[in-house]
Structure 1
Amino acid sequence: MAVLTIWGAALLAYGAFRLWYDNWSGPLKPAEIDAFLAQMAGRFEGTGNSPEVMRAFLEADDGREFVMLNLVKAQMEQVADPKTGQMVQGFDLLKRYSKRFMPVLLHNGGHPGMVGRKVGGYVDAWNTEPDPGWTIFGLMRYRSRRDMMKLVMDPAFMEGHPDKLRGTLATFSFPAQRVVSFYLSPRVTVALVLALIAALAHLALLSLAG
């Protein structure tokens, strides 16, 4: 009975993880897209982004997860803190923004896939703009396009957005879906970890019984 409890608990824990990690609501519906874009009215102009590009991305929703590639040139000079007005390094504001962004991302089923700093200039580039001096890159996993829009509309995200604007000199982002990867999916990693924990608990139980 105890053995069944151990493995049953592991199975329930994995089920709970998949309920959080996977998109169970399907692709976005037209009414949802209209509602999201209506809520974003006026926010595109402030950053030079295109509502047409966003609409096309949302209308092509297949319900699958995706990753967002972000390239960022951080502001390393002193800027006015949007909250206090005091002069602070722009990069500190970007880090403060990240601290607000990450909990909202996790709440909506996303997580960082990889984050790193740039350590050199372009070594393979043609027919593209000169390197503006990127500072960091990030791959952020989103559970779905719906969850991305929920994140954008989250009050905590919106409150921290001025920090991103002050702490960033240049950025661009585009969504992508994985074709080939040599990294284990969290679905596999979590399953293996839970199985290991359950197996160790099983062995400990057998040891006590013996």
Structure 2
Amino acid sequence: MDIDKEGWCLQATRLASPNQNDRPDNQGIDLLVIHNISLPPGQFGGHCIADLFLNRLDCNAHPFFDQLRALKVSSHFFIRRDGSLFQFVSADKRAWHAGVSSFKGREGCNDFSVGVELEGTDFVSFEPEQYETLVSLTDALRRRYSLKTITGHQHIAPVRKTDPGPFFDWQLYKKMLGETSTSETGNALPDFWIE
């Protein structure tokens, strides 16, 4: 995969979200945050997640959606169960994925992070195709930006969030990323993982 000079992944389906803005001046991008999402909760497929990020979710379509009426959120990337990749916000811009968050004393993780949503829940395993896409995307992001940390939403907002959850296989992800990083980029794996 490749990230172009404007922060868009060439291999992703591009669906530009209005829920984004500029990062603070001179703000580096050094954190990758992994999430999970399903809408309605526990259901996979369909267009509800994209609709949420694009502000066009029909909040009358499911009882759960009523609580999402005023919500304005986005993620840079979304990986479906089959491994297909969608991008909603340029990685150069600030997506609204982390909310109230803190990492190593730095507040507001949206300012310096890229968010990747995996279609899933805290209660089911993720698909091999999702890991494959995530690894390829992570490598592309590492080539384009100065990523120093890869972490889960649960680690930057532990009181509020539990994703990507206990079924995200950090060891598998690290192993796969280590294999591709060494062979494709020549970069050693970072030693800053948080699990």
TM-score (norm 2): 0.26
TM-score (norm 1): 0.25
Of the two, which has the highest radius of gyration?
Answer: 1
Which structure is richer in relative contact order (CA contacts within 8 A, separation 6 or more)? 1
